[in-house]
Structure 1
C-alpha cells in the first residue's frame, strides 16, 4: 500500500513557521497601517490622531481645494507622458543595444547610471541644468543666440515638463534594461525566419517581438505607474511645488498637510485617494497576471 501523501498544509512546516514573524509584521504594519489611515481619514484629526468622526467632510474639502486639483492634473500630465515616453525611449535604446554593438557594456552602464542616483540628487542636478542664469539657456546665449529661452522650471505653464525631463533621464535606463532582457529572451530563430521571409525589421518588432514581450511590458508598466503615483523627491528638489502651485503633486500635498499643516485628517484623506490610484493600477495587473496564469494551468 502506497504511503499517503502529506497534507499540503503541513509541508515545509519549518519554513512556514520561520515566515510567521514576517507575515505578522506585514499584516500589522502594512495592512493594519492602511486600514488605520483610511479609518482616520473620516475624522477631524489635527496635530494628533483623534477619533472624532466627521463623515466625508475631509474628502469634500479635499476635492474642493484648488491645490489638490492642480496636483491631480499634474499627476495626470506627468503620468501619461512618463508612461509613453519612458516606454518608447527605453525600448528604442534596448533595440539599439540588442544589435550586438561594440562597447555594449559601457553604453549600458552609462545609460543605467542615472537610475543609481537618488531622486533628490537628480532633481538638484536638473535644477541647475534648467536654471536660466547658469544652465542650458545661459550656455546657448553665450554662443551668440541672445534670444534663446529655455526656463521650464520658471514658467508655470510648462514647469511640470521640467520635472518630466528629470524623471525621464533617471528612469529610462531601467526601462531599457528590462526591455533588453526581454529582447534577449526572444529566440534567434524568429529573427532568422523573418529575414528569410523578407519581413522589414520594424514589422518584426511591431507584429511579432512586442506581442511576445507582453509580460515584460506589463511588469514595466506597473513599475512605472507605481513610481508615478508616489513622485515626491523630484518635485521637492527642483521646484518645491512652484512656481506657485504649478508643480504640486499628491504625495507632496499629503506630506505638507500631515507634517507641515498639522492636519492629519486631510492628509489621511489625500493618502487614501492615492491608495485608490495605486489599487487601480495593481488590481488589474494582478488579475491579468495571476488570473491568466491560473486559467492557463
Structure 2
C-alpha cells in the first residue's frame, strides 16, 4: 500500500514537473521568435536605399547633361524654339538661359549667334561612340566631359554646371580652343558700348544693313566683316570705284557693298542671290 502511494506521488510529481518544463520551453521559443521579427523589422529600413537621397552630386550633374542630349536628339531641344521658356530654364542658369532665349527670338527665320548644333559643335552630324563622362565636382561647380565621334573626327565637349539651390544648371558649353557657347552669345549680344563711328571717307566701323548690322575692320589689303547675326567673319576686297566685294561663296557668287560716293556713308548691299538691302553708316 505504501509502495503504491509513493509510486503515485512520484508519477504525479513527474507529470507536473514535465508540464512545467514544456510550458516554460514554449514561452521562451515564442519570445525568441518575436524578438527576431522585431529585430528584422527594425533593421530593414537601414538596408533599403532612401528615395531621392542616395544620388551623389557627380551623378546628378552628369544626368542633367545626359537628359539634355536625350531631349535634343528626340527633337525636343530647348534650343531654336520660342514656345516654352521653361524648357530653357530647366537646364540652364539664368544668365545663359537669357541669352539662348534672346538668340532664338531675335533670329527667327535667320541664322543667329548659334549657327550650328551647340551640343555637337557642328552643322552636320553623324554621331558615333557617344559617352557622357564622370562629373568633376569643385564646390558649387561641376564639369562634365562628353565625348563622341562625328564623321570619324573624335571630339570632346565640356559642360560647366552651377549648383543653384538643390539643382544643377548648365552655365556654359566649352568646345576647346577658347570657344564656348557663352562666348558666342556674348559676342553677339554684348552690352558693351558700340565702337566709335569712323570718319567719312573710310570703309570701317559699324553699318546698318537691312535689319541687321555689321562691323567693318580694315585688315591689310582687305576688310573683315563681322555680322551681328552669325559667329564667323567675311572678307571683302576693294573692287572699283565705291564697290567692295566678298570672296566667292560655294556657288561662285559674291556679296557686294555698293556705296553712293567715296565717303562710304550710304549705299546698297547686293547679296550673291541678287537681293538688295539698304546700307547706312550707323550712329
- Determine if the TM-score, normalized by the shorter chain, exceeds 0.5: no
The TM-score with structure 1 as length reference comes to: 0.19
The one of the two structures with greater contact order (alpha-carbon pairs below 8 A, sep at least 6) is: 1
- Normalising by structure 2, report the TM-score: 0.20
Relative to its length, the structure with more strand (as a share) is 2
Q: Specify which structure has the higher proportion of helix.
A: 1
